[in-house]
Structure 1
């Protein structure tokens, strides 16, 4: 569990409770996912490297810190990752964007790929993979494998909720990838949903079933 960070900030936990409420409206759910993602973004980027640059303030010159190297990549697992992506782009508007289209086969619970597009120089950039749920871990692990095949080396994963089964599965398949989440829930049910969870994030975000 050394690679897992649970962000227990009071505001994050409060907004997560609001997200879990089954009576939350679609508009409210979208807004909250964006807000929580923005808060989580501060934690997942906490150890980004800095360099010093000389600037002139209105008062005097100074050496000031700025991010080192190329801007990072935000990799959204479609479709539910788009809700978190919106908040992270607000925090990091210069980030490059990758999209990974996967859906979970309802019988096997295995991921099926239908789309992949990432920056060509992804090997030179830190990558944050975003998906609201880490349930079985199969889809996330597959997405990270695709990113590694494209050249990505510095990868971290950000989600709203995780199940212990998903954390273990991802740690086994990609032990180098740090996991950031707002909570680790109890377990997965027979349909592969996180318990107590918040239901299907994609359906709740887009008003579909």
Structure 2
């Protein structure tokens, strides 16, 4: 080892002074509190080599108990929610569903009233509110789609109608017809005619066939 590097293995004066101060502090503690276990001395020169001059010391800190308490609280809340779900009976779920349907029906009526007044934006708002309470109502989606068609938002209307046909009811008459109307307004005659043919072939009753005929008449003019 080079003589200029002898400080790597020799103890510095600063370390000696620090040791003396630490010994004095330990003596004071023993005088006031009796015998006390002395903390092991940490030599900061540990790990220093000829090629590495990085001095590192392990910082031992008391871990906070707050994260643990927070996790415990969350766990308790999840357990309470789970127990509540178990306690709910089939009758409770049916009654809750009936309550939501009554609210959704009220919003549907509000939407229909605004639709008759040609306030299509407000109608869409009320139909959307109804869907928030009953997410699987083909009627609300079809009504909202028709209001969007009146606003000439044909692509948005088709999204609502496709949700009905792909998720809720693949045979829904109005969904197929409204989709046919929206496609026709987008100049997609091939897909429009296909939607009309599908609407007509699902074992429709005479009443359904009459509705289809009236719709096709409107499609040529006012739809």
Normalized per residue, which structure has more strand? 1
TM > 0.5: no
- Classify the TM-score, shorter chain: under 0.3
Larger RCO, structure (CA 8 Å, separation 6 or more): 1
Normalized per residue, which structure has more helix? 2
Q: TM-score, normalised by structure 2?
A: 0.22
